[in-house]
Amino acid sequence: MSSSISEDNNLIVAQYRSFAQKMPPIYAGLSLAMACHIYSFWSIVPWVWSVLCPSLLMAGAMVRGIWWFRHRNTPAASDVAQSRLQRATRLLFAAALVVALMDYMAVPYLDLHGKYYLVVELLVLSVVSCVSLIHLRHYANLVAGVVNLAMLYVCWSMNDFYASLSAAIAVLFLAVLHACVISYYNDFKMLEQARREAQRLSSRNAALASSDMLTGLPNRRHFFAMLDRVLERARMKSRRFAVGILDLDGFKPVNDSYGHRVGDLVLCEVANRLTSSLGKAVSFYRLGGDEYAFIVILKGDDAPLKELGQTMISLIEAPMTFGDVTVAVSGSVGMAVCPDMAEAADRLFEYADFALYHAKRTGRARAEVFSPVHREELRAQGAIEQAIRVADMDAEFYPMFQPIVDTETGTTQHLEALARWNSPVLGAVSPSQFVPVAERAGLISAITLVMLRKSTAAMRHWPDHVGLSFNLSACDIINSVMIMRLITEVEQSGVNPRRIVFELTETALLQDFSLARENIELLRRAGIHVALDDFGTGYSSLSHVQNLPLDKLKIDQRFVADIENNQTNQMIVRSLITLCRGIGISCVVEGAETNAQVEALRELGCHSIQGYFFAKPMSEQDVVTYLNVPAEGLNRLAG
């Protein structure tokens, strides 16, 4: 009999689900039928067949009906479902045998009307059996067959034409019903198979939608969905966890130098290293580009978090070899702890992102955990950003100028424009504060244009041999539209483009080296010179510097602080001066504050120097006076 139940586990569960919903009303109907049987025949048929058997059957039906009512919506595994189906169908088959036997034994004691009642009772039970077991067609046919045989026997015992006709019609009806049962079962089976296939495809699509196709890691969408679930569990169980963001350092040059195929291999290798070494304790996700996210449950304090971040960085920094290509990248990590710093997903991610930004800004290849100090800094930056957004830039932003001096002739070669902001809300704000905020908020280009316009206007009052050094943001140099606007601004200013030097940092090159190079070419074709600022603090290689169309190199002031005594700094500066001469570009050293430093630089062969020794940043009006009357630094130099 067990063969009548499908061996397909999924189909078994579907059969059980349908069967369980039908059982309570079926057993209720059987109990009612037995009650009517007792009421109709208790005084006519012997009590064993008119009272005892129907009573026992009614009691059993009520018990089973109550059980099924309580379990009608309870999910069951395939093995449990199969066991319950077999037990239930066997009980129904037994009940059908008891009903058939009861009616068979009652026939000799009944008149024609009583027998018609039995025919109706058995016909209804046959139909109900087919309907209740419609998804178990073998059992449906078996139970209905037992009941139908009893019905035909009752009709035959009546010796009545109409009873025989009724039996024939009933048999025909039940045959049609049997065919319907078979057809419905096949349709049910096909529908269930289609539903499972649709569910499988839906699950597959959901998995694809939640996975990164390149690395196989869960993607950004999955990360935020998981973050919401982890947050909910953390609230319920008072757990602490950390959200982290890992961003690769030096990945862009790899893409530019070796192509996207090697870049993709690097991204996959990073994912493999992280998951194979830390995957049991940390859940990793790829957010996009060269950025990854992770979630880690904390079992104690968050002291090991920085160590975990440094472990990730160490895993990434090991050289990667792909065929005959060996590359090396590093990474920076930012983390935020829940609930210490925040309890909302978006705020946690924002804080982790700020910690990452702080790690990159303070040296890269570092792990940083968001702290109350960072929160105060973030709030301050938020206030600065809001003030910039509503600022009257023409009225509030203005340039200050610091000279670059030729120590051989004692003349000023260029004046570097330094952005200043006097906010009516915040007061005077340092460039070190507002420039990073403006860059992150996408507002720096508007400031750049205002500063360039005011700086070129000031140049009209300078001698023709004095040029302007003007700083470009990393956001500016990789924005081709912005480059064209800067060229247009210079052309409209009436100033000779050859008097202008645009300075950019090495960090800007890392954003998009190829595009930066193209935009530098555009500037130089327009007659504008280009300098690499703060050299020695960034990450671009000397080969990149040699291959860039540069006109000038500015050596960072950190090499000047004790250059008169520090032989290492002397060797570095001498080497860079020699490099510049070798590739045919000018060299400027920043940060000279004392006569001893200036003399040491002159002895090393550098004669273009900038620093407080000559002048601090000056207003537009003071520049005119300075150019007409040599500053104290130049007087001391001449003396």
Longest dimension (CA), the chain: 145
Query: Is residue 609 helix, strand or coil?
Result: strand
Query: In this structure, are residues 142 and 93 in contact, taking their beta carbons and an 8 Å threshold?
Result: yes
Token pair 């340092």 is at which residue?
Answer: 430
Q: Which two tokens stand for residue 369?
A: 């955990």
| Strand pairing category for 427-429 and 467-471 | unpaired
Token pair 């869960």 is at which residue?
Answer: 218
Half-sphere exposure of 569 (CA within 13 A, CB side): 16
Residue 234: partners with Cβ closer than 8 Å, 6 or more residues away:
240, 241, 338, 339
Helix (H) or strand (E) holding 594: none
Q: For helices 260-278 and 304-317, give the axis angle rounded to 10 degrees.
A: 140
Q: Which two tokens stand for residue 420?
A: 């200043």
Query: In this structure, are residues 290 and 222 in contact, taking their beta carbons and an 8 Å threshold?
Result: no
Distance CA 226, CA 233 (A): 11
Distance CA 221, CA 395 (A): 44
533 catalytic residue (yes or no):
no
Query: In this structure, are residues 444 and 511 in contact, taking their beta carbons and an 8 Å threshold?
Result: no
Residue 214's φ and ψ, nearest 5 degrees, are -80, -55
Q: Which of 212, 247, 256, 290 is catalytic?
A: 290
Residue closest to 608 by CA, chosen among 581, 572, 626: 581
Residue closest to 467 by CA, chosen among 375, 512, 404: 404
Catalytic center residues: 290
